[in-house]
Structure 1
Amino acid sequence: MRDISGDGPAYGFYGDDFTGATDTLAHLARAGLRTMLLFAPPDAARLSLLGRLDAVGIAGAARTMPPQVQQQELARVGAAFAALGVSVMHYKVCSTFDSAPQTGSIGVAIRTLREYCANPLVAVVGGQPNLRRYCVFGELFAAAGADDHRQSIYRIDRHPTMSRHPVTPMNEADLRIHLQRQGLENVQSIDWRCYADDDTMLQTELDSRLESKPDAVLFDVLDDSHLRAIGRVISRHANSQAPLLAVGASSVAQAYASALNEAGERGEVNVAPVSLARARGPVFVLAGSLSPLTEVQIAAAQSYLRVELDPLKMTGEGAADYLAARVAAIVGPLRDGRNVLAFTTRRAVHAADATDVTDAAKAEGEARRALPQLAHTCASLLREVLGKVRLQRIGIAGGDTSSFAIRALDAWGLSYFAPLSAGVTVCRLHADSSELDGMEIMLKGGQMGDANLFEELLNGHARDEADKH
């Protein structure tokens, strides 16, 4: 691994959605690495303005892309990171690995980015313990529920949310098979029993796996000690050979940072815990996620005026008029100093108002067809709202909603500001326009955050959640 005191960033990461990218940004920044998250590959002028960086990220939306579009996007990213001379190229995926051969294919990502990483090791890190994601003997498990003390752990193909994801349902728990279905024929694995204290067994097993020239090597993860062992592997291989491609959630960044820490190569940034203060003005939250946890968070947001967004009306005939009316219903209270939570109602998606089975099936089909366009429409709504009222703090819930909403704004990057909850970070938005520059923004995936997350976004949060796990 190249010394972080070098001229360019040693670590480059691409987030396949914006929410996950901000989590990786937070982990690297809290580790003392000078890190910036950008919305497009940087040119020389942008890099010169940013100054010296240890890590640079690019937030994207590859999780929603078909293979050809995804390949074009990632070829640009790979070329940009190669030009920067990174030693570790991290393709950041959701901690639940939700993807499919025709949507957000991790296989397509690995095949595309490997063209820019000649290292024989492609490391797939299979879990993130602080988010209660675990990989055991190659199979993925994840928690579900809003209460930390009552969360149950499910095999991913039996998870109450991810097994029913409207776009990329997880119907296979074995990540080796999951990746093979996406075109990676030879996926080897290292199970948790190989993580000996002196790394001898781990390196021996890895050398054996690499003899078959695998498309990728999957590493089990059960706890943070496993991440430290994986970090040492990444460090040795990236330091001694060509740039290394790593795939996984923010656990890749955690492993990388732990290796720097052990080697005494931490950054120079002051990483004292930061507390998020109460917002200085009204807060706007846009919740496009339809997950059960986000539904719990919406119900607990008692300090907000709630504005429902009907997915069918937002994407069907007359959508422009409906959107204009919803924007007016949001902007007026915000101008009056009230907090507003706009959320896509689950009623339309689950067809609860249907009077019989035939009506229910028809309504369900209409709602599902509306989902791909819904994130784009939510992005338009956010752009309209922010064009009419200036805000200091906003929140966006939903991975796809966050990706499209932020891309719709005239902004170019994010920097880490403060922790809010495990897997949820508040960032500062960077833009050339003074109306947007410096805005505090929370991006969260549907399955992330405490039940009171939206209240905490408003009132501030004294705890540093990163230190809880």
Structure 2
Amino acid sequence: MDSRRKWIGFYGDDFTGSTDALEALTMNGVKSILFLEPPNETLLQNQRFIDFKAIGIAGISRALSPREMENELLPVFESLKNANVEICHYKTCSTFDSSPDIGSIGKAIELGLQVFQNQRFCPLIVGVPALKRYTVFGNHFATMEDGTYRLDRHPIMSKHPITPMDEADLSIHLSRQTSAEIESMNLLELNGSNYEIDRILESKIKKNNEAPVILFDVLTKEMLTKIGIVLVNETQKNTIFTVGSSGVEYALTAVWKENSQYDLKEQKWSSLMPADPLLVVSGSCSSVTEKQIGYALEHDFYGIKVESSSIINLEKRAEACLHIIHEASEKLEKGIDVVIYTALGPEDSSIEMTKGQLVEAGGKQTDTSKILGEQLGEISKEVIKNTKIKRIAVAGGDTSGYITKNLEIVAMEMIKPITPGAPLCLTYSNNPIYDDLEITLKGGQMGSVDFFVKVKNIT
């Protein structure tokens, strides 16, 4: 094996999903780094990054139109191809939320196959048992608290403010976004020997003129391992382009652990100091995040509700942001933990009010996450500059993207697990204010009710 070759390169369609993939690799002994922009050869050869076996790129494509995705993804895929990775992974959310108009996974598949042209098929793996996400006969399920729901009946994902999931059959959902042929490997077909799995897979590949998308059921870790064998075997023929959740990373690492060519070492974590104090910034509308904010406020965090109507208004924006910066900085300098948030759950009245305000001003409802995210990024940057705090928690995929870009972060490395899918990371930045910052990026549905308190106290 070429020691310089990277085992996997991934692009996350949002920042929280990117750290999810980073965690899946790091927890399983793969030295991994997450960049915020496609790395060039000079950066990859930098002494700080040269020993990493997996590279990721944190992206924002889940919030982009198909045209914008083309401009975003083609250079990324070319960059990963030039980096000579064994596997290129387009990392999606484990709930697959997307639409033909926003964050089209179908468009991403078409662009990936345009760059990786020797593809026999495009593996699609969305289930990931570690996050309690399951695909059964093509239908996708996600666990929330004590219940597991079909995606179109999920209390949060079926009501997502931008891309509500009204279809649990992933083949049907994806077919609305691409004309590519879609086949499936169901759990009964994956229940046989490796030889039988290969035989069935070959029959599905050969009946299509072009490289089909093949959706794999995932119910158990053992099933993921079988899929990992398929992926690793396919890399013997070509670099492969694959799509899906961090189930891809869990599948691969399960096989790499048994292969002496991949030197996977047991992960050991260094001790940390508890945050004193912690800044939390949330742009999430999830009811899970709502409960986490409520718990934090009950445990002596100081809450600052962002008045979205003022942030949307160009005339009031600067003054509103300045007020939040001053208020948050003052509390943090006194050692008080602060949570800045835009909404408390999906029923918060400010959500619809803000959308209506945008439409009245000639904008689009879908612009809300971009505008609020950019301003939360500016607020976070100034608060950290004022207070020199060293740990921050961010909730919301789009919000995480805008905040990390504002903080001039070049790359991140996982330094401690907190909850599956949302690890604590250490930043690399050319600006000393934002270098060695401890940061966790949490998707809306991730974490227990005491998540923010855990982030504060983790050592």
CA distance in 2, matches of 1:29, 1:17: 19
2:263: which partner in 1? 267
2:112 matched to 1:121? no
Question: What SS does the aligned partner of 1:21 have?
Answer: helix
User: Separation in 2 of the partners of 1:98 and 1:312?
Assistant: 27
1:192 aligns with 2:187: yes
Identity of aligned residues (%): 32
Query: TM-score by structure 1 length?
Result: 0.90
Rounded Cα–Cα distance in structure 2 between residues aligned with 1:312 and 1:347 = 17
Query: What corresponds to 1:392 in structure 2?
Result: 390
TM-score by length of 2: 0.92
Relative distance call for 1:224 and 1:53 in structure 2 (3 A) is same
Instruction: Name the counterpart of 1:44.
Output: 41
1:45–1:347 CA distance, 2 compared to 1 (3 A): closer
Letter in 1 for 2:421: G
Choose which of 412, 430, 435 in structure 1 pairs with 2:433.
435
Q: Are the counterparts in 2 of residues 350 and 364 from structure 1 also a CA contact under 8 Å?
A: no
d(CA) in 2 for partners of 1:133, 1:348 = 22
Alignment-mate amino acid for residue 423 of structure 1: G
State how 1:343-358 maps to structure 2 within 5 Å: 343-346=341-344, 350-351=348-349
Deviation, 1:200, is 2.2
What does residue range 132-211 of structure 1 map to in structure 2 within 5 Å?
132-145=132-145, 151-196=146-191, 198-211=193-206
Contact kept? 1:123, 1:216, Cα under 8 Å:
yes
**CA–CA distance in structure 2, aligned partners of residues 363 and 443 of structure 1:** 24
Counterpart of 2:281 in 1: which secondary structure?
Answer: strand
Quote how far apart the aligned CAs of 1:424 are: 1.2
In the superposition, relative to structure 1, how do residues 83 and 418 fare at CA in structure 2: closer, same or farther (>3 Å)?
Answer: same
Residue by residue over 1:36-70, the C-alpha shift from the partner in whole angstroms, topping out at 9 and shown as x without a partner, is 11011112221111213211111110100111111
Matches within 5 A, 1:405-444: 405-444=403-442
The aligned amino acid for 2:141 is F
Distance 1:108 1:276 in 2: 43
Establish whether residue 337 from structure 1 lines up as the match of residue 332 from structure 2. Answer: no
- CA distance 1:455–1:347, change in 2 (3 Å): closer
User: Secondary structure, in 3 states, of the residue corresponding to 2:415?
Assistant: strand
Counterpart of 1:297 (choices 284, 292, 305) is 292
Distance 1:44 1:329 in 2: 43
What's the CA shift for 1:210?
A: 0.4
Q: How many Å separate the matches in 1 of 2:451 and 2:306?
A: 20
Query: In structure 2, what is the equivalent of residue 256 of structure 1?
Result: 252
Report the 3-state secondary structure (helix = DSSP H, G, I; strand = E; otherwise coil) of the residue aligned with 2:326: helix
Q: Which amino acid aligns with 1:64?
A: A
Query: Which is further off, 204-213 or 219-228?
Result: 204-213
Is the contact between residue 290 and residue 345 of structure 2 (CA under 8 Å) also seen in structure 1? no
CA distance in 1: counterparts of 2:383 and 2:306, whole angstroms: 14
With over 3 angstroms needed to count, the CA separation of the structure-2 counterparts of 1:347 and 1:398, relative to structure 1, is closer
Cα distance in structure 2, aligned partners of 1:338 and 1:29: 32
Question: What per-residue deviation string (whole Å, max 9, x for no partner) do you get for residues 270-301 of structure 1?
Answer: 513x3764524211010110100000101111
2:276 maps to 1:281 = yes
CA distance in 2, matches of 1:298, 1:94: 22
Alpha-carbon distance in 1 for matches of 2:446, 2:331? 27
C-alpha contact (below 8 Å) 2:13/2:90 kept by paired residues: yes
Secondary structure at the aligned position of 2:172 is classed as helix
CA distance in 2, matches of 1:268, 1:283: 34
> Partner amino acid for 2:372?
L
For residue 241 of structure 2, what is the amino acid of its counterpart? L
Answer yes or no: is 1:403 the counterpart of 2:398: no
Judged with a 3 Å threshold, the aligned counterparts in structure 2 of structure 1 residues 42 and 371 are, in CA distance, closer, same or farther, namely: closer
- CA distance in 2 between counterparts of 1:26 and 1:99 reads 23
For 1:263, what is the secondary structure of its paired residue?
coil
- Please state how far the C-alpha of 1:256 moved relative to its aligned partner: 0.9
Deviations 1:111-164 (A, max 9, x none): 11112222212100020111111100001111123xxxxx21111011111111
- What is the aligned partner in structure 1 of residue 362 from structure 2? none
Distance 1:51 1:361 in 2: 47
Q: What does the per-residue CA deviation read over 1:399-444, in whole Å, with 9 as the maximum and x for residues that have no partner?
A: 1100111111212000110000121100001101221111110101
Q: Deviations over 1:367-415 (max 9, x none)?
A: 8564442222211211221222211111000011001111112120001
Rounded Cα–Cα distance in structure 2 between residues aligned with 1:247 and 1:347: 30
CA distance in 2, matches of 1:124, 1:401: 26
What residue in structure 2 maps to residue 373 of structure 1? 371
What corresponds to 1:29 in structure 2?
26
Distance apart, 1:197 and its partner CA: 5.4
Partner of 1:357: none
Distance in 2 separating the partners of 1:436 and 1:293 = 29
In structure 1, the partner of 2:326 is 328
Q: Deviations over 1:84-117 (max 9, x none)?
A: 1112100000000011111111111111111222
Letter in 2 for 1:247: V
Gaps of 5+ in 1: 146-150, 353-359, 462-469
Cα pair 2:152 2:167 within 8 Å, conserved: yes
SS in 2 for 1:99: coil
What secondary structure sits across from 1:313 in the alignment? helix
For the aligned residues, what is the CA RMSD?
A: 2.0
Tell me what 1:53 maps to: 52
In the alignment, the residues of structure 2 paired with residue 224 and residue 114 of structure 1 have an alpha-carbon distance, to the nearest angstrom, of 28
Please list every run of 5 or more consecutive structure 2 residues that lacks an aligned counterpart in the other structure. Answer: 359-364
1:45-124 equivalent positions in 2, closer than 5 A: 45-49=42-46, 50-117=49-116, 118-124=118-124
CA distance in 1, matches of 2:50, 2:171: 40
Matches of 2:105 and 2:450, distance apart in 1: 33
Runs of 4+ displaced beyond 6 Å: 360-364
Aligned partners of 2:308 and 2:354 also within 8 Å = no
Whole-Å separation in 2 of the counterparts to 1:459 and 1:276: 12
